[in-house]
Structure 1
Amino acid sequence: LERWSASARVNVVESRGIRSLPGLSYTYLAPPPPQHGLAIDGDALAPITNYQSPISDLDFPAYLPESLAFAPRRGANALVIEPGGGLDVLVALASGARHVTALHGEPLAAEIIGEFGSGLYGDSRVTVVHESARTFLARSAERFDVVLLALTDPYRPVTSGAYSLAETYLLTEEAFGAYLDHLKPAGVFIVGRWLQSPPSEELRLYATIHGDFLCEARGV
């Protein structure tokens, strides 16, 4: 499937080789669920997970690291930023979230997930917002129990030097400040990043969170 919007080309790929559950525990022994691949402008292939049983009966979400944030927060109000193919939205619902707001900067991607994602975005507990995270957070006063910045960037080996100058406004100090400002007092902020050797992504994330802007303004 290939469709175009004013800003992007969106493709859906069907293949038995598409299996993506980042961080899945080694203790999970069942077969992975079937998935389609969602690509925007031919890049960043993200999984659209297909399921037949009710979300509450799915077992694999409990073996993903994001589920840990919801374990002590049953009935959480969650914000998922750029969820790609919707996997993190599915994990949030399966982990007991009461409501999930999914921010999609590309409306066509959300529309396609609605078609291929086993009715995920038709769930009454999900609100899909077609807006960038920075814009949404600037106008919204809502606070969340969990703010999840999904891992949708493709893996880029740092040793190759490729994309070392690529930028994203989702990972700036100002963006992180906006995420933290929309957390409830006991809320948790989750950022998904790739493991690298050397550990460049972890160090950049640490430096951003502990930069002067966040430390002085918010006491991080």
Structure 2
Amino acid sequence: MGQLRAVVTGASSGIGAATVRRLVADGWHVTAVARRDSRLRELARETGCAVFVADVTSDGEVAALADHVGARGGVNLLVNNAGGALGMDLIADSALEAWTSQYEVNVVGAVRMTQALLPLLRESGRGDVVVVTSTAGHEAYERGAGYVAAKTAEAAMTRTLRLELTGTGVRVMEIAPGMVATEEFSVNRFGGDSERAAAVYDGIKPLVAEDIADAIGWMVGLPHHVNVDLMVVRPREQASATKTVRS
């Protein structure tokens, strides 16, 4: 088999960009996918990755991506990383639009990408789907129900996909990060309020994007008969969604 080929969504920053860097360093040919062309071009100049501008919420753009990848050698790995959180409101006060948006990106976007690339993953003879969920998909916490609900659904989708693809030669793996400090996740969650975003990490050393990228690189680098169903990765001082020890 020649050079392994990967597609990483949400690749313009954070965990996605770090995963592109890790996979390229490991010898993969990577297509980085995101909405922001300028960010992707910077990443391409840095790493040598290929890029494709697409929004995972668009049927047409995802279909075009699948055609593009298929015409250039196919794909062995899809990293469904695109997603995010909006707001920290109580359910009683939360905007329904935020619920819809979070579900559309985190859940339906991952399904759309998987549907589009699954034929190529099967054809490759060595296919992997990695879904980046969150510890929020495994335990609830207050003031985050929209994100908790979306990530819980994404985790359930991943488990179901594994059941459906067992026997096809395609691995399905989930990584659920806890508190990860990236340049945009919390800022986006708080509508651009950088001070409020920074306060999330006060008194604790959080994970960084490279920690998750390294874990993904390890998972997909294992012999292909080995499937890591679920990896939960947290900072040492974060025991759960409701217990974090801060200095």
- Calculate the TM-score normalised by the size of structure 2: 0.44
Structure showing greater relative contact order (alpha-carbon pairs closer than 8 Å, 6 or more residues apart)? 2
Task: Provide the TM-score with structure 1 as the length reference.
Answer: 0.48
User: Relative to total residues, which structure has the larger strand share, 1 or 2?
Assistant: 1
> Could you say which structure has the higher helix fraction?
2
